[in-house]
Structure 1
Amino acid sequence: MRDTLRGGLELTRPANCIAAGVLTAIGAFVAGIGDAGDATTIAVVTTVLAVAAGNAINDYFDREIDAINRPDRAIPRGAVSPRGALAFSAVLFAAAVVLAVQLPPTAIAIAAINLVALVTYTTVFKGTPGLGNALVAYLVGSTFLFGGAAVGDLRTPVVLAALAGVSTFTREVIKDVEDMAGDREEGLRTLPIAIGEREALWLATGVLAVAVAASPIPYLLGTFGIAYLLVVVVADAVMAYACYESFSDPTAAQRRFKYGTFLAAAAFVVGRVAVSI
């Protein structure tokens, strides 16, 4: 029983769920619309539940690939049955829907799109070169949009969502390089398999360069001041180094990208705080 409970928790990837919830909260905070604590809380919990459900159903469909790439995960090692993982995911999705319908229409629309995207990612898009990466990039960026929509404003979070999405696309390509053995065994045509490992990494680097070049836009438009720019430059440097590192150690590089994404989000928080003072 203890191993089953632990396995169920592992299916949700608690760290990723908390991270997604934090990104939603940041989106709401950056929007800066008065006192919207209840809406923000609902949006954050909805995000946590939806991401947990998505992770669980992803492990259900990825169980054969994980048996090669990650045999220590809950389903391959037998802690949770495939049917149990599917049922657990359905319960989490249902809970997310119950919460989401309490939010404004725009937030409900984003939630509906994201729930469909989470379910179809593994079954439809994951093995399609580039499209799976783009879908995950959208999902990460949309956490900021969801937070902003929950409190009634999308203007500032749109920029943050776009930057986060582009940088996530790069990280996802690097993750595909890391997972090539299992993906090839399963017959998936991810971007590195379709066009080659180094070619995919160069493409990912080029995409990141676009995000880095665009990152000063909030400062140039006068939305945020120098505090934002100083932090976002550090975030850009971390992600640029991760791209360089990906050619020799994709595992370390894709983990480093997480830090870069959170630093970029922190830049927006710092920018909002500085403007409010």
Structure 2
Amino acid sequence: MRDTLRGIVELARLGNCVAAGVLTATGAFVAGASGAVLPTALAAATTVFAVAAGNAVNDYFDREIDAVNRPDRPIPRGAVSPRAALATAIGWFAVAVAVAISLPPLAIAIAAVNLVALVTYTSVFKGTPGLGNVLVAYLVGSTFLFGGAAVGNPRAVVVLAALAGLSTFTREVIKDVEDVAGDREEGLATLPIAVGERTALWIGAAALVVAVAVSPLPYLTGTLGAGYLAVVAVADAVMLYATYESFVDPGAAQQRFKYGTFLAAAAFVVGRAVVVA
């Protein structure tokens, strides 16, 4: 029973859930929601439960691939049955819907689209070259849009969402390169399998270069203060180095890339805080 409960918690990947909730709250803050505590909290909670459900669904559909790539995950190691994982995902989806229902219409629409995207990612798009990466990139970027929409100002975070989406696309390509062995055995046609690992990494690098090139825009347009520019420069450097590293060690690179993504989100918080002050 203890291993089962631990397995259910592991299905959620709490670190990812909390991180996604923080990104949603960041979007609300950058959108100017310093006093909108309740909608920000509801949006963050919705994101946490939706991501937990999506991760559980992902593990359900990926159970055979994970038996090769990640045998320590709950389903491959026998801690949670596939049926229990699916039931857990449905429960978490239900909670996400219940929490989101009181948010503004645009936020509800974004949440509805994202719930469908989370369910269809593994079952439909994951094995399609590039499309799965684009979908995940959208989902990450949309957490900021969702936060902005929850407080009635999604336009304020469009640039942040775009930067997050582009950098996430790069990280997802790196992760696919890391998982080539299991994906090939399962018959998935991911981007590195379809076009080759190095070509896929160069495509990911191109997306990141675009993100880095446009990252100064919020400062140049006067939307965010100088603190943003200082922190985002560090974030850009971390992600660029991680992309370079991915050609040698994709596993280490995609972990390092995650830190750069959070630094970029922190840059927006710092820049917004300076403007508010």
TM over 0.5: yes
Q: Point out 4+ residue stretches in structure 1 off by more than 3 angstroms.
A: none
> Is residue 164 of structure 1 aligned with residue 164 of structure 2?
yes
Question: More deviation in 155-164 or 175-184?
Answer: 155-164
Take 1:180 and 1:40, find their aligned partners in 2: how far apart are those partners? 38
Take 1:265 and 1:155, find their aligned partners in 2: how far apart are those partners? 16
Take 1:147 and 1:256, find their aligned partners in 2: how far apart are those partners? 25
TM-score (norm 1): 0.99
1:91 maps to: 91
Provide, for residues 210-239 of structure 1, a one-character-per-residue CA deviation record: whole Å limited to 9, x for no partner. Answer: 000000000111111211101000000000
Report deviation, 1:156: 1.8
Take 1:141 and 1:158, find their aligned partners in 2: how far apart are those partners? 9
Take 1:157 and 1:219, find their aligned partners in 2: how far apart are those partners? 13
1:245 maps to: 245
1:104 maps to: 104
* SS of residue in 2 equivalent to 1:227: helix
Aligned partner letter, 1:243: T
> Is residue 69 of structure 1 aligned with residue 83 of structure 2?
no
1:212 maps to: 212
Aligned partner letter, 1:56: A
Take 1:114 and 1:126, find their aligned partners in 2: how far apart are those partners? 15
Report deviation, 1:33: 3.4
* Structure 2: 5+ residue stretches without partners: none
Take 1:226 and 1:21, find their aligned partners in 2: how far apart are those partners? 26
TM-score (norm 2): 0.99
* Structure 1: 5+ residue stretches without partners: none
2:266 maps to: 266
Take 2:34 and 2:179, find their aligned partners in 1: how far apart are those partners? 44
> Is residue 227 of structure 1 aligned with residue 227 of structure 2?
yes
Report deviation, 1:35: 1.7
Take 1:88 and 1:169, find their aligned partners in 2: how far apart are those partners? 28
**How many matched pairs?**
277
Provide, for residues 72-112 of structure 1, a one-character-per-residue CA deviation record: whole Å limited to 9, x for no partner. Answer: 00000000000000000000001100111110000000000
* SS of residue in 2 equivalent to 1:145: helix
Aligned partner letter, 1:175: K
1:194 maps to: 194
Take 1:14 and 1:34, find their aligned partners in 2: how far apart are those partners? 26
Identity over aligned pairs, percent:
75
Take 1:141 and 1:258, find their aligned partners in 2: how far apart are those partners? 14
Report deviation, 1:34: 5.0
1:181 maps to: 181
Aligned partner letter, 1:244: Y
> Is residue 121 of structure 1 aligned with residue 121 of structure 2?
yes
* SS of residue in 2 equivalent to 1:224: coil
